Amino acid sequence: MNDRRWIRAALERYEGPLILHARRITGDLERARDAVQETFLRLCSRPRAEVEPHLAEWLFTVCRNVALDLRKKERVMEPLTSERDRERPSAEPSPAAALATDEQRTRVLALLESLPEKQREVLRLKFQAGLSYKEIQRVTGHSLGNVGYLVHMGLKSLRDKLSGDVLEELAS
């Protein structure tokens, strides 16, 4: 497979998961798309042999860094005004609205937002992007043991919160 087809295959496989990941970081679909575009531009400039053995980790790491840089740049450029003025509603439907037909999934997504940022990030990389613990380690820079711990604690917290919700519903 030549480099052109290899990059096209990578784009087809990873563009969607990368946009989701970058959107979670930037909070904005357009900035997320910009981050993914920059990620693939950087991929085009790297030797295939250097990146191919760990393509997923490389893409998610570069995308994460670009998205974090965009988020930082946006914060620097925003004037310090009231908290309400800094929040901009998204033009896209919320995850809960998009998944209204699946009540349990909607509940899990809402509870996911209540988790600490590190737990949210590793759970999304694990279950939404399908990365292995080792790939998540390379993307986030956390130790392999820490990745396992964060996934375990995140899932435990979600289970505890879900069972609490069910008990509240039964009591009412």
User: CA 65 to CA 78: how far, in whole Å?
Assistant: 20
Reported confidence tier of residue 127, pLDDT bands at 50, 70, 90: confident
Compute the mean pLDDT over every residue in the chain, rounded to the nearest whole number: 83
Tokens of 52: 């191919």
**The domain that contains 171 carries what CATH number?**
1.10.10.10
pLDDT digits 0-9 by tens, 44-88: 999 999 999 999 999 999 999 999 999 888 775 555 555 544 555
Around Cβ 63, how many Cβ atoms within 10 Å? 25
- Binned at pLDDT 50, 70 and 90, residue 98 comes out as very low
Q: Are residues 31 and 104 in the same domain?
A: no
Q: 3-class SS at 96?
A: helix
Measured at the alpha carbon of residue 129, what is the angle toward residues 118 and 165, in degrees to the nearest 5?
A: 60
- 76, burial (CB in 10 Å: exposed 0-12, middle 13-18, buried 19+): exposed
- What is the total count of domains within the chain? 2
116 and 150 part of one domain: yes
Q: In this structure, are 9 and 67 located in the same domain? A: yes
Residues 126 and 70 in one domain: no
Last residue of some domain: 32, 55, 89?
89
Which pLDDT belongs to residue 91?
A: 57
Give yes or no: residues 7 and 85 share one domain: yes
> Which are the contacts of 141, defined by CB distance < 8 A and separation ≥ 6?
none
In terms of residue numbers, what domain contains 135? 93-172
My answer on whether 140 and 170 are in the same domain is yes
106 in the same domain as 64: no
53 in Cβ contact with 138 (< 8 Å): no
Which of 89, 119, 153 is the last residue before a domain boundary?
89
Provide the pLDDT for residue 168.
62
Do 29 and 70 belong together in one domain?
Answer: yes
**56 and 12, same structural domain?**
yes
Is the domain of 79 the same as that of 158? no
Q: Residue 35 has what pLDDT?
A: 95
**Does 125 lie in the same domain as 70?**
no
75 and 4 co-located in one domain: yes
Tell me the helices (H) and strands (E) count for the chain, helix number first. Answer: 10, 0
| Residue where a domain stops, chosen among 41, 67, 89 | 89
